């Protein structure tokens, strides 16, 4: 359920709490926009379409690349070539070499 709180003379904070989901908050300057957003997000949650993007917004590129290399690239036939491209475009000090060595030991030399 969404609750709208007044914050100062012209700020409105929407809090949405649903069982089984993280709390979602957002601040607006207009009450009409706050209500519209609350309805939209509640509808998405009920339909199973809502994606909480906090993790994605806080993920740094090199962390995402490391995860991709571990979870996706390691399953590909062309893992060696793809990991080499990742290392060339992004310096090795940003990537965990040990994870790549598990997939192919020669990648530590690239």
pLDDT single digits (tens) 96-105: 444 444 444 4
* pLDDT tens for each residue of 11-36: 999 999 988 888 999 999 999 999 99
- What pLDDT score was predicted for residue 35? 96
Same domain? 10 vs 33: yes
2-6 vs 12-16, strand pairing mode:
antiparallel
- 88 and 71 within one domain: yes
Which is nearest to 35 in space by CA: 5, 71, 59? 5
Shared domain for 47 and 88, answered yes or no, is: no
Question: Do residues 15 and 2 make contact, with C-beta atoms less than 8 angstroms apart?
Answer: yes
Select the more confidently predicted residue: 106 or 56: 56
Tell me: the pLDDT tens digits for 46-61? 998 887 777 677 777 7
Q: Supply the range of the domain harboring residue 34.
A: 2-54
């Amino acid at each position: 359920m969404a609750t709208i709180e007044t914050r100062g003379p012209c700020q409105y904070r929407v809090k949405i709490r649903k069982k089984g989901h993280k709390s979602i908050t957002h601040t607006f300057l207009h009450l009409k926009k706050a209500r519209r957003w609350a309805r939209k997000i509640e509808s998405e949650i009920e339909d199973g379409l809502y994606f909480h993007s906090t993790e994605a917004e806080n993920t740094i590129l090199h962390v995402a690349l490391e995860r991709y290399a571990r979870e996706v690239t390691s399953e590909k036939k062309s893992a060696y070539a793809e990991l080499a491209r990742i290392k060339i475009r992004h310096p090795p000090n940003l990537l965990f070499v040990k994870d790549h060595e598990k997939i192919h030991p020669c990648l530590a030399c690239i």
